Amino acid sequence: MRRASQRDNTYELYYWRGLPGRGEFVRLTLEAAGVAYRDIAQEGGDGAAALTSPMWAIDGNILKTPSFAPPLLRHGELVIGQTANILGYLGPRHDLAPDDEAGRLWVQQLQLTLADWVLEIHDTHHPIASGLHYEDQAEEAARRSEEFLLSRLPKYLDYFDGVIALSPGPYLAGPRMSYADLSLFLVVEGLRYAFPTAMRRREACHPAISTLVEAVLAHPPLATYWHSPRRQAFGDGLFRFYPELDALARKSDD
Amino acid sequence: MRRASQRDNTYELYYWRGLPGRGEFVRLTLEAAGVAYRDIAQEGGDGAAALTSPMWAIDGNILKTPSFAPPLLRHGELVIGQTANILGYLGPRHDLAPDDEAGRLWVQQLQLTLADWVLEIHDTHHPIASGLHYEDQAEEAARRSEEFLLSRLPKYLDYFDGVIALSPGPYLAGPRMSYADLSLFLVVEGLRYAFPTAMRRREACHPAISTLVEAVLAHPPLATYWHSPRRQAFGDGLFRFYPELDALARKSDD
């Protein structure tokens, strides 16, 4: 049975059960592409139990390309790790990346910048160790969040605002929506959840970013997914709402 | 004059002057490839003054592909940002990446995992904000470093040790040295500088990693560069030596 699924060409996503996390960047690309895929750990069964970090094996078979951490995408004989690498593989196959090399390098550069941003967002609530609870690093989290809201959040928003201004539009890299647009959409939605006070104020100064988010959400397959019960709500994972961290935004208004 | 250099095909690296930093990953690949390149900011003149973060323009010309931060590589009309993206461009052009798509995805996955590791190493001394001095976050740095030495350093070493064990060898992805091998070499050298106490003990348990580092350094063009006065010593930047952080390694020996 498993051998059969290995041989066919259905995309299989492996990611932790119960949180959208970095797996959601892959889901958005697969959903926008309108392709069928299996979300292994969400299916129940033993898929979730099999996930580890590092991930050395699937179904008891040692991987030739083990991953340091999920998400992983299996496609036929390929097992691909690292979110940006997965998207760089999917994008050109599903019209979610430019056709030329220069365009593909540019979209991947944007994706890697988004990955840096995402790690900084994660570290606002886990500045000491991802293996410790938030409560055990809440004091440091407050300090890091204050710095993030004061200097890093505006710097990243300014950058992507500038990229949109340079683009022939309406998307980051021109007329075609790419996986980087989908990822920026998710980062903005996640930030609206985690830091609503700061984002209300900052987005008012960066209307081009809000416009791009709306354009992505106007894409029918993506909108259908985003508003469906299949989409997992934010909560644990990358984007978290702690009122005491959100409240720090007011300080930088002084 | 500048127009002429724009039209030719010499690689131009843009990175902060006075520290090896992330620019060194690009330099190692260019040096191992044995190709000529210009290291703009190191040349003196106004190259260093022109560097900014974000980097919107070069020589007064607005970039179509601005970078959030250096390093940038200019090659003819292309201006490429993000270290892993630059290496993914250079590798296949200079026999420092596999020929097939699966192999290239694998090497890029390893590079992105190294990039994650590098960011964690950086954050051992800057856990609150990259814009603050170490001295202003030394207490948090001690806490983060202790966690890093206890749980993250062995986890990454175990992972790359396992990757080497799975490889037909002698390199991470088989018989051909790739840009990911060069990057692992730099990370290990940087860690030996930053955390000598921990690395002495950990490397004794991971001889395959030390062997790979030696294999990389046996590559003539790389060895020539590494032992030349052109190579910038560690000091500021990603890999920093603070005796009080290094000393934390002893705790985890208990």
Mind listing the pLDDT tens digit for each residue in B129-142? Answer: 999 999 999 999 99
- The pLDDT assigned to A7 comes to 47
- Cβ–Cβ below 8 Å for A162 and B128: no
Is the ipTM reported for this complex over the cut 0.90? yes
- Chain B residue closest to A160 (CA)? B68
Q: Up-side HSE of residue B149: CA atoms within 13 Å toward CB?
A: 28
pLDDT digits (tens, 9 = 90+) for B112-130: 999 999 999 999 999 999 9
Q: Residue B81 is nearest to which of A67, A109, A128, comparing CB atoms?
A: A109
Percent of chain B predicted with pLDDT > 90? 88
| Average model confidence (pLDDT) across chain A | 93
pLDDT digits (tens, 9 = 90+) for A29-84: 999 999 999 999 988 777 767 789 999 999 889 999 999 999 999 999 999 999 99
B58 pLDDT band (50/70/90 cuts)? very high
B88 to chain A: which residues are within 8 Å by CB?
108
Whether A94 has a pLDDT exceeding 50, the answer reads: yes
B84 to chain A: which residues are within 8 Å by CB?
84, 112
* Mean pLDDT calculated for residue range B93-111: 98
B44 pLDDT band (50/70/90 cuts)? confident
- Cβ–Cβ below 8 Å for A159 and B108: no
Our CA angle for B117, B121, B125, nearest 5°, is: 160
Q: State the nearest Cα–Cα gap between B139 and chain A, in angstroms.
A: 10
Query: From the candidates B93, B128, B145, which should be mutated to test the interface with A, based on the most A CB atoms within 10 A?
Result: B128
A/B interface, count of CB pairs below 8 Å: 119
- The pLDDT assigned to A4 comes to 44
Percent of chain B predicted with pLDDT > 70? 95
* Mean pLDDT calculated for residue range B26-44: 95
- The pLDDT assigned to A194 comes to 98
Q: Which of B211, B143, B245, B68 is nearest to A111 (CA)?
A: B68
pLDDT digits (tens, 9 = 90+) for A188-211: 999 999 999 999 999 999 999 999
A115 pLDDT band (50/70/90 cuts)? very high
Whether B51 has a pLDDT exceeding 70, the answer reads: yes
B82 pLDDT band (50/70/90 cuts)? very high
Percent of chain A predicted with pLDDT > 70? 95
A64 to chain B: which residues are within 8 Å by CB?
106, 166
A68 to chain B: which residues are within 8 Å by CB?
113, 116, 156, 159
Whether A254 has a pLDDT exceeding 50, the answer reads: no
In order of A140, A178, A212, B145, the CA distances from A183 in angstroms are 28, 9, 11, 31
pLDDT digits (tens, 9 = 90+) for B186-209: 999 999 999 999 999 999 999 999
- The pLDDT assigned to A142 comes to 97
Q: State the nearest Cα–Cα gap between A144 and chain B, in angstroms.
A: 5
Q: State the nearest Cα–Cα gap between B21 and chain A, in angstroms.
A: 16
- Cβ–Cβ below 8 Å for B82 and A56: no
- Tokens for A224, please give them: 């259908």
- Chain B residue closest to A144 (CA)? B128
- Cβ–Cβ below 8 Å for A54 and B147: no
Reduce the secondary structure of chain B to three states and give it as a string. CHHHHHHCCCEEEECCCCCCCCHHHHHHHHHHHCCCEEEHHHHCCCCCCCCCCCEEEECCEEEEEEECCCCEEEECCEEEECHHHHHHHHHHHCCCCCCCHHHHHHHHHHHHHHHHHHHHHHHHHCCCCCCCCHHHHHHHHHHHHHHHHHHHHHHHHHHHHHHHHHCCCCECCECCCCHHHHHHHHHHHHHHHHCHHHHHHHHHHCHHHHHHHHHHHCCHHHHHHHCCCCCCCCCCCCCCCCHHHHHHHHHHHC
> Per the confidence metrics, is the pTM higher than 0.90?
yes
- Chain A residue closest to B63 (CA)? A166
Query: From the candidates A73, A90, A105, which should be mutated to test the interface with B, based on the most B CB atoms within 10 A?
Result: A105
Whether B90 has a pLDDT exceeding 80, the answer reads: yes
A31, amino acid identity: E
- The pLDDT assigned to A251 comes to 56
- Cβ–Cβ below 8 Å for A140 and B127: yes
A238 to chain B: which residues are within 8 Å by CB?
none
- Cβ–Cβ below 8 Å for B113 and A84: no
Note the helical H segments in chain A: 2-7, 23-33, 83-93, 101-125, 138-147, 153-166, 179-194, 196-205, 207-217, 220-226, 243-246
Query: From the candidates A55, A78, A85, which should be mutated to test the interface with B, based on the most B CB atoms within 10 A?
Result: A85
Query: From the candidates B67, B73, B82, which should be mutated to test the interface with A, based on the most A CB atoms within 10 A?
Result: B82
- Cβ–Cβ below 8 Å for A109 and B143: no
A126 SS3 class: coil
Q: Residue B112 is nearest to which of A56, A82, A155, comparing CB atoms?
A: A82
- The pLDDT assigned to B3 comes to 45
* Beta carbons within 10 angstroms of residue B136's beta carbon: 13
Q: Residue A54 is nearest to which of B123, B152, B159, comparing CB atoms?
A: B159
Beta bridge partners of B73: B13, B80
- Cβ–Cβ below 8 Å for B131 and A112: no
Whether B104 has a pLDDT exceeding 60, the answer reads: yes
- The answer to whether the bond into B154 is cis (omega within 30° of 0) is no
- Cβ–Cβ below 8 Å for B78 and A105: yes
- Cβ–Cβ below 8 Å for B112 and A159: no
Whether A253 has a pLDDT exceeding 60, the answer reads: no
Q: Residue B109 is nearest to which of A81, A112, A151, comparing CB atoms?
A: A81
